[in-house]
Amino acid sequence: MGEKMKNNSIKKEISAYDNAMKQLKIAADKLKLSEGIYEYLSHCARIYIVSLPVVMDDGEIDVFTGYRVQHNDVLGPCKGGIRYATTVNLDEVKALAFWMSIKTAVVGLPYGGAKGGVTVDPRKLSKKELERLTRRYTSAIIRMIGPHKDIPAPDMNTNKQIMAWFMDTYSMDVGETTLGVVTGKPVELGGSLGREEATGRGLLYVIEKMHEKKGFKLDENCTVAVQGFGNVGSTVAILLYEEHNCKIIAISDIKGGIYNPDGIDPIKLKEHEQKTGSVVNFPGTKSITNKELLQMECDLLIPAAKENQITEEIAKGIKAKMIVEGANGPTLTEADKILDKKGINVIPDILANAGGVTVSYFEWVQGLENYFWDLERVRSELKRILLIAFDRVYDLAEKEKVNMRTAAYMVAVSRLAKAIELRGIFP
């Protein structure tokens, strides 16, 4: 869900998993969680690391490293995306798997959390090389996955075509077409309508609800800065522009950022980005850095790139009135404290960007039943589930006088802890 930003202030030693554990500890302390349950949730259930030899187009063999981590399956089969990126490592995948456990619990889905990835730059592979890599990766983790065990989905640099190869490889192995083994597939192969827009549309729903709660207006006077212009960032920017006429003043991607105080048309920008491969050099805009975008004066800041973007240093200069996290884990715990002191409203990733996994759940259900929904039903059910979750988190935050992230974690951890207590520890 996003792209890596250029930011010299982000240091390599920052551990995404350590940051995730700090967030867990805050909620555990608030809930007075037992030490045993805390220890249970602070460990991943299963970790696979696999070597993936692939015959390249020139006949040579390259070996890639792949990962699949299942954090917890106490609420149901594991669920989580697969990303292809040079930055993929075990620490990152563990953190993302943990956040999926929390995210599915926040919105009440019968899932546990998982995540996977391959350390590779997919832009350097041909389509055939990408297919061979995907099929090899699928085969390597095939004992770990299944429609009732672990259901992967697209994430950063993966898409519906890769999910189609994934589904086909699994189906060939088990001897029958198995639609429910993966979500984010093409509609022609059992994918769900509304899946590609789901995370961005879910962001829109929670943004609308938060503005309603806080008495803010979403209109032509609302200024928006979006970090990351992949599927999530571009979708929410276009929806805010089309449905509320919001003024999108800054957008960035992996190659740089652009700014226009009078507003940027995200629809035309998407066309430019598809032609040139980047948002940079869009007519009528000036270049800005990632730091300038994050610290820009605006009503709404949407980090939709990658984890660890809002550091303590960045947070000190943030001027946005509201932050809605489209990416997973974009804000460090130390930065959260600064944002709290500033009175900046933050809708956390585990609630804000849960639209993707929610519609993935719909796709999984449709695939198991071989009965498919229309787009209106998908959007209606998505909105219903997200707003129920939003109200639960918001009300708890008000009651306990904590921020939305802590409240969301409290909701999720309470649900996980209750399930652990009811199931007991085997044997």
Residues annotated as part of the active site: 115
Q: CA 373 to CA 386: how far, in whole Å?
A: 18
Q: Write the CA distances from 203 to 2, 132, 303, integer angstroms.
A: 14, 34, 11
The region, left, alpha or beta by phi > 0 then psi within -120 to 50, assigned to residue 250 is beta
User: Which helix (H) or strand (E) is 178 found in, with range?
Assistant: none
| Alpha helices (runs of H) in 245-332, residue ranges in sequence order | 266-276, 290-294, 312-316
The region, left, alpha or beta by phi > 0 then psi within -120 to 50, assigned to residue 426 is beta
Concatenated DSSP letters for 80-147? EEEEEETT--HHHHHHHHHHHHHHHHHTT-S-EEEEEEEES-GGGS-HHHHHHHHHHHHHHTTTT-BT
| DSSP, res 191 | P
Q: And the tokens for 302?
A: 């949407």
Residue of 112, 71, 64, 54 lying closest to 88 (CA atoms):
64
Q: And the tokens for 398?
A: 């008000």
Backbone angles phi, psi at 171, to 5 degrees: -60, -40
Percent helix, strand and coil across the chain, each to the nearest 5 = 50, 20, 35
Q: Which residues are 347's β-sheet partners?
A: 324
| DSSP, res 43 | S
Question: Could you count the other beta carbons within 10 Å of the beta carbon of residue 350?
Answer: 28
Residue of 297, 299, 287, 346 lying closest to 318 (CA atoms):
297
Q: And the tokens for 227?
A: 């970090």
Question: Could you count the other beta carbons within 10 Å of the beta carbon of residue 231?
Answer: 22
User: Which helix (H) or strand (E) is 368 found in, with range?
Assistant: helix 355-369
